[in-house]
Copies of this chain bind each other. A is one copy, B any other.
Amino acid sequence: MTTFDDIGELMRAQAANRRLRDDPIDDDTVLALLDLAAHATTGRPQRCAFVVVRDPDVRHQLARTYRQGWSVYKRVLRSRWSDDALIEDRQWQSDHFEDVPVLVVACMPGRRPLFPAIGAAAFYGAAFPAVQNLLLGAAARGLGASATTLPLWSVWEARRTLGLPRRVTPVSVVALGWPRGPGNRAGAGAPSPLVGNVVHLDRWGHQPFRARRGSDAKDTA
């Protein structure tokens, strides 16, 4: 049985890895990952579904939409975040998106509810735990992976590209491939905060654990 330390090690090592080789990934591996995704718990009858994209034409179309989205989002990100490594990393992904061997599009049955807010939270809350299982499974398998919403900036376009019915909503795209370079630990992204800095007790602003690390985070200190 997986110990708490084991899973902690995996979760701390897992990072968005956007620089991927174009070598293929076999069906068994992809299905084993999606089996983990399908095991994410949900309290709703609706279940996340997945479109596995291998077809070069479909990948090309998603890459084109990604680049359109990135050309705008890049400026937003630059204005808010001075992490050049992350921006270069995403630029690389944008330039090579059609070469990613497998793109998994996580889709939810239904249309996203605008109101109430908890309807929207429950809708996305049934999809992203599956995406997280997929990302963690990929890390455990030695695959590079990252999730992005950019290829979906036009839901209309994404529905057309993937042949999705109007009652199915694409929510996230996971790019999967064997990593270039040293693997998961090389992924660029925001450094994880000290846990005490993002934890409040009972009411917002009461932060007795400020600057404290997770009790088992010594090895990454």
Contact = CB atoms under 8 A, between A and B. Distances in A.
Interface of A: 1-4, 6-12, 14-16, 27-29, 31-32, 34-36, 38-45, 47-55, 58, 69, 77, 80-81, 86, 90, 107, 112, 114, 116-118, 120-122, 124-125, 127-129, 131-133, 135-137, 140-141, 146-150, 152-153, 155, 162-165, 168-169, 171-172, 187, 189-190, 192-193, 195-196, 198-205, 209, 212-217
Contact of A6 (B2, B28, B215): B2
A38 to B, nearest CB: 5
19 contacts: A4-B141, A31-B215, A32-B215, A35-B217, A39-B192, A41-B135, A41-B187, A43-B189, A47-B190, A53-B202, A117-B152, A118-B149, A118-B152, A120-B124, A128-B128, A128-B132, A129-B129, A129-B132, A163-B204
